[in-house]
Structure 1
């Protein structure tokens, strides 16, 4: 069983990640650093998620007697990365692509403690039913998914009404694979 001995810094403004950390019973503070989230060409979605999580972590230098946790979530459809939408039209395009299809969600996580770095990722497959343009517009207008990779949140209307099933971790699709995070915290010495 993981017993928290050190302060934890969560380097994420995501309300979903913060909620999941609270539900895990972890005490943490939030500290944000501005980083460039670009990545080199040729990386797989899993490699991109880990690359960006590690990039976020390198912004933290003093990690003695504390744990820093960073994460990045990538939505991929047939190898195409679906990031956060730029605007409503971009969100409509992404959600139309997801309609009636299976896509993958990868979350890369990096933990730093005493300058030791541990990174991992999780993969979940998400299956969506077909949706109409009217449903997509309803979703965008009412749920404003502009801060979400792939233009949707599995914990809101889209997840309740459109997602038919998930193979893998539900919390990974939310943006933080809590099962793997708990194990990584338990193993971190």
Structure 2
């Protein structure tokens, strides 16, 4: 099942998501549907708040970024980087902050440089409810930080300088009103 992506302006994107219990919901089905939704919208990550569910869950598939790259240009941090993060908790962010142009399925058509630390240490559960503590760097760390922000009620636009935010104000308002062309299903605030 493909869910509509929740658009900028919906209050669910600004809530701190709640942890979920092991048998509270049918996680395998929800995760499969989230992957289908993410692939349908050409994303590399999707957090539960982006489909209207304020729970601590996100999925990623960074392997897609390496698909069209020549061997020498592939990011080693993305090898096999298709994962489910349940009840994640970032334990540490470190290293030099580096800029990369980010976008978001909930904010279509807008991209901007965001500075993030190069390394992240995260604790989470997988679909079998096993707990993991892992470290990631480079693009894998960035994808995790971006999706984790959704669980904290943050968006990549929150990191932009005030002038850039002012310049995007009308475009963001248009997204909230549904005045945007996308090739995937979206849900706009009422």
Would the TM-score normalized by the shorter structure come out above 0.5?
no
Q: Which has the higher contact order (CA 8 A, sep 6+)?
A: 2
TM-score scaled to structure 2, two decimals? 0.30
TM-score scaled to structure 1, two decimals? 0.30
